[in-house]
Amino acid sequence: MLADFPADQALNEPEFLARVGNFAWLRPEERARVLEIRRTALDAERARLTGLAARQADPWSRAALHHVLGKFDAELRWLAGLTTDPRENA
């Protein structure tokens, strides 16, 4: 069940974090699949919001969208770091 991460749930942060919090129970390939599904969803949503921000005439709307995009960038960096087992660095 933890390894099953439907694409339609990939932007659901609690669902994703529940899986990450239980990565010790998953095989490396299952962890990689969960991370890839999340990364793909974040990339698609980031692209959508980038286009939306570019079309905003209102600077406040653009500022809000750029803030959200910064959160996406931070999470994508975090996901890249999750490809190694944190126990290996202990």
Report pLDDT digits (tens) over 37-68.
999 999 999 999 999 999 999 999 999 999 99
pLDDT at 67: 97
Is pLDDT above 60 for 89?
no
Provide the number of structural domains found in the chain. Answer: 1
Q: Which domain holds residue 35?
A: 7-89
What separation, in Å, do the N-terminal and C-terminal C-alpha atoms of the chain show?
A: 28
Contact 72, 40 (CB under 8 A): no
Q: Within a domain: residue 2?
A: no
pLDDT at 34: 96
Q: Within a domain: residue 73?
A: yes
Residue 72, burial from CB neighbour count under 10 angstroms (0-12, 13-18, 19+): middle
pLDDT at 85: 64
Q: What are phi and psi of 49, to 5 degrees?
A: -70, -35
**Confidence class for position 1, pLDDT limits 50, 70, 90:** confident
Is pLDDT above 90 for 88?
no
Q: Within a domain: residue 1?
A: no
Task: Tell me how many degrees the CA angle 27-86-6 measures, rounded to the nearest 5.
Answer: 45
